[in-house]
Amino acid sequence: MKNHGFIKTVVASPELKVANIFYNLEEHIKLIEKAAENKAVLIVFPELSLTGYTCGDLFHQKLLLDKSLEALQILLKRTRDLSIVALVGIPLNIKDKLYNCAAVLHHGEILGIVPKMYLPNYKEYYEKRWFSSGNRISSNLNEIELLNQKVPFGNLIFKCIEPAFSLGIEICEDLWMPIPPSSYLSIHGANIIANLSASNDLVAKAEYRKSLVAQQSARCVCAYLYASAGVHESTTDVVFSGDCLICENGQLLVASERFSRSSQLCYAEIDLDILNHDRQVNKSFSDTSEFENGLGKVKIVEFAFVGQIVSEKEGLLRHLNKNPFVPQDKSTFEARCREIFNIQVAGLVKRMEHTHSKHPVVGISGGLDSTLALLVAVKTMEVLGRPIQDVLAITMPGFGTTDHTYSNALELMKELNVTSREINISKACLLHFADIGHDPEAYDVTYENVQARERMQILMDIANKEGGLVVGTGDLSELALGWSTYNGDHMSMYGVNGGIPKTLVRFLVEWAADNIFSDSTRNVLHRISNTPISPELLPPDKEGNIKQKTEDVIGPYVLHDFFLFYMLRYSMAPRKILYLAEKAYEGEYSPQEIKTWLRGFYQRFFRSQFKRSCLPDGPKVGSINLSPRGDWRMPSDADATLWLSELD
C-alpha cells in the first residue's frame, strides 16, 4: 500500500514525578502504546525523561542509576511487540563517568545510545556538576555493553530501510551551539533530527526556541522533532512548559500546548519525498560534505522497521493549504503581499531607468491581471518621482468586451488619474479577417488570436511612438497552461506578473484595494476581483454577460495553482499530487474532477513550453518561476506520456 513518502511522527511531553522512575516508566509505556496504535513510526521523549531532568545531585545516587537501567529493561520488554521507534532520555554510567543519553529502542532492542555533546553552564542549571560531555568518548568508543546487549554508541545515524529515513539525534543544548551536531549529522544523510530537550521557560524564550528549531530544520533540509520537559519537573528555580515542536524544512507543522498539566502527544506526518527532493536540487547542501567533520566519524546503524506504516487510505493529519501560494496567517499574508508588490515595482523602476523609457504602456481590459500591472505602473511613477499621468493606459474593446468590464476599465483609469486612451479594435480585426480570408462568423482560434495580436500591436506601436515600454500583464498560471496568444498577450517589453499565479493575483488586487487606495478606487478594485475570469474574445451572451469563462474551459485556477506548486516546487509525481489534491479539496471537487483537470494540466503544461521558451524579462517573486533563463529549462518537444500514464 502506497503512503506517498509520508511517515507519522510524534513528540511527547509526559506527566512525571521527579526521581520516581517507575511512575515515569508507566507513563512512557502508555504514550508509546497510544502512539503505536495511531500508526506513528517514531516517538521522541524529553531529555532524561525516565528520571526527570531536575534530579540534581540525585544523579550521583547509585540507586537512581540502577533503577533507571531496570526501568529501561522493562520498557524494552513491554514495548517489544509494538511497531514504533522510541527515543527516551536516560543517565548512563560509562567507564565511571556519567552521561546524559538518548536511548533508541525498537521491537525489544536497543538500536543505539547517543550522549549529549554540549553541557550547559548556566546559573539555573549546571550540568557539568553531574555529567560529562559525550564528545571525546564518542571518538574513542563505538560500542558499549548494556543490558546484556552490545549496543552502538556515540555519533550515530539510524538508517531505516523501509520506510526509508535516516535519524540523527542531539540533546537540548546541542542545538544552541554555533555548529550543532545536527548540522554534521544532516550532511552525513540524516533527514530527521530528534532533540530530547529540557529547555526551561523565560519571557520570550519560546518564540526564540521556535525560531531556532525552524531555522535549523531549514539549514539542514530536514524534519526536526523537538520534545521538551513539562511542568511536572521541579520548580525549585525554574519552570518548564512542555514546549514540543515538529518542523519540516523551515515550516512549523505542529506545536504543543505549553504549560499543559497532562501528558501531550503532538503528531505530524513528515514528507520524506519533499526533504529528499530539496537535498537533491540544493547543490550547496551537498557541497558542505567536503568540509571537515566536527563530530569525528559518524557511524551508521541500519535497521528494518517492524510493522505497518500509515497507508494512503488511512487519511492524512497534515494540514494542506488549498492555496499554497497564499499565506494563511493574516499578518504574514499582508507582509507577503507588500513584499511582492515592492518586488514588482522595483523591477519595473530599474527597467524604466535603464531603457530611459518615458511611459509605462499598459493594456487595460477590466480584468485582474491588467489591473495589477496598472497598479504596479502607478506605484513605479511614484517611486521615480514622475507624474502619474506618464502612465499610458490603453483600453481596446472588441467583439467580446462586455459593458461590465468596459465600465470597470474606464472607472479604474479615471480613479488612478492615469492618461487613458480608447482604441476599438473591431474594424481593424474585420479588415484583417478580410485580408486573410477568414469568416468573421467562425468563432475559432483564428477569430480569438487576431484580436489578441491586434491589441499587442497597438501597445507596441504606441510604446514606440511615445518612447514608452509595454508592461506585460500575463501571470504565472497562464504561462504554465499556455493560456495566452503566441506573440499576442504572451509578449511584452517587461512582464511584471510573470512570477505570480492567478490565485495570488486576485489576493494582491484585494490587498491593494484594502491597504493602499481610497474608498472609490477600492470599490472598483473589488468589483474587478469579483468578475469572472475571461479573455473576452468571443461575443457576450444575449443578456450582454461574459460568455467565455476561462475556468469553464481549462478548469479551476485554484486547482491548477495547487498542481503547479507541487509539481514545480517539489517535483512530485502525478499520483502524489492527485492524492494531496483529493485531501485538500475533499467535499469541493470529486476525485474524478480533480483527476480530469490534473490530466489537462499536464497536457497543457507540456505542449506550451514553446511559449515559455521566449518569454520577456520579468521579476521573480517566489520560489517558483518559469523563466527559460534560469528557473525552468525544458525542451519544447518533451513528451507527457510518462506523467499521463502514471496518472491513469
User: What is the domain partition of the chain in residue ranges?
Assistant: 7-312, 330-554
| Fold that domain 7-312 belongs to in CATH | Nitrilase/N-carbamoyl-D-aminoacid amidohydrolase (3.60.110)
> How do residues 210-266 score in pLDDT, each as one tens digit?
999 999 999 999 999 999 999 999 888 889 999 999 999 999 999 999 999 999 999
Among the options 47, 233, 248, 582, which is catalytic? 47
Residue 29 clears pLDDT 70, i.e. is over it? yes
> How do residues 162-204 score in pLDDT, each as one tens digit?
899 999 999 999 999 999 999 999 999 999 999 999 998 889 8
- Rounded Cα gap, residues 498 and 450, in angstroms: 23
Work out the mean pLDDT of the chain and round it to a whole number: 93
Q: Is 116 a catalytic residue?
A: yes
Query: For 330-554, which CATH superfamily applies?
Result: HUPs (3.40.50.620)
**pLDDT of res. 519:** 79
- Rounded Cα gap, residues 441 and 420, in angstroms: 31
**pLDDT of res. 126:** 80
**pLDDT of res. 124:** 62
Q: 398 and 426 in contact (C-beta within 8 Å)?
A: yes
Residue 419: what residue type?
T
End-to-end C-alpha distance for the chain, whole angstroms: 17
Among the options 172, 222, 266, 337, which is catalytic? 172
* pTM of the complete model: 0.90
Residue 293 clears pLDDT 70, i.e. is over it? no
> How do residues 465-490 score in pLDDT, each as one tens digit?
999 999 999 999 999 999 999 999 99
Helix H or strand E encompassing 380: helix 368-384
Residue 404: what residue type?
H
Q: 218 and 105 in contact (C-beta within 8 Å)?
A: no
> How do residues 591-626 score in pLDDT, each as one tens digit?
999 999 999 999 999 999 999 999 999 999 999 999
Q: Is 172 a catalytic residue?
A: yes
Q: Is 47 a catalytic residue?
A: yes
Among the options 116, 379, 576, 611, which is catalytic? 116
Helix H or strand E encompassing 151: strand 149-152
Q: Taking Cα atoms as reference points, which of 82, 42, 253, 81 lies closest to residue 166?
A: 42
In eight-state DSSP terms, residue 100 is E
> How do residues 388-433 score in pLDDT, each as one tens digit?
999 999 999 999 999 999 999 999 999 999 999 999 999 999 999 9
What value does the mean pLDDT take over residues 44-70?
Answer: 96
